Amino acid sequence: MTKPDLSVTIAGIHFRTPLIAASGTFGYGTEYLDVVDYSAIGGIVVKGLYLEPREGCAPPRIWETPSGMLNAIGLQEVGIEKFVTEKMPRLCELDTSVLVNICGSSLEEYAELARILDDVDGVSGIEMNISCPNVHEGGILFGCDPNMAARVTEAVKKKTSLPVIPKLSPNVTDITAVAREVEAAGADALSVMNTIPAMAIDVETRRPRLKNIIGGLSGPAIRPIAVRLVYQTANAVQIPVIGIGGIASHEDALEFLLAGASAVQIGTMGFVDPSVWRKTLDGLEDYCRRHAVAAISELTGAVET
Ligand X SMILES: Cc1cc2nc3c(=O)[nH]c(=O)nc-3n(C[C@H](O)[C@H](O)[C@H](O)COP(=O)(O)O)c2cc1C
* Chain contacts with ligand X (rule: CB under 6 A): 22-25, 47-48, 71, 73, 75, 101, 129, 167, 194-195, 218-219, 222, 244-247, 266-269
47 or 151, CB closer to ligand X? 47
Upstream peptide bond of 69 is cis (omega within 30 degrees of 0): no
Query: Does 133 sit behind a cis peptide bond, omega within 30 degrees of 0 on the bond before it?
Result: no
When CB distances to ligand X are compared, the closest residue is 24
- The residues, ordered by sequence, that sit 6+ positions from 53 with a Cβ below 8 Å of its Cβ are 77, 78, 79, 82
d(CA 176, CA 195) in angstroms, rounded, equals: 17
Closest to ligand X by CB, 20 or 116: 20
Residue 162: CB minimum distance to ligand X, A: 17
Closest CB to ligand X among residues 4, 87: 87
Cβ(266)–Cβ(199) below 8 Å: no
**132 labelled catalytic:** yes
CB of 71 to ligand X, least distance (A): 4
- Chain Cα centroid distance, residue 84: 20
- Shortest Å, Cβ 304 to ligand X: 26
Q: How far apart are CA 151 and CA 103, in angstroms?
A: 14
Nearest by Cα to 262 from 185, 163, 192: 192
CB of 86 to ligand X, least distance (A): 18
Shortest distance (Å) from residue 14 CB to ligand X: 21
User: Which listed residue (57, 103, 132, 288) is catalytic?
Assistant: 132
Burial 106-118 (b: 16+ CB within 10 A, else e): bbebbbbbbebbe
Residue closest to 129 by CA, chosen among 101, 170, 161, 98: 101
- Name every residue whose Cβ is closer than 8 Å to that of residue 79 and which is 6 or more positions away in sequence: 49, 50, 51, 52, 53, 54
State in angstroms the smallest separation of the CB of 270 from ligand X: 8
Instruction: Tell me the C-alpha to C-alpha distance, in Å, between residue 52 and each of 39, 79, 156, 192, 223.
Output: 32, 4, 18, 26, 33
The dihedral region occupied by 23, where left means phi > 0, alpha psi between -120 and 50, and beta the remainder, is: beta
Please list the active-site residues: 132
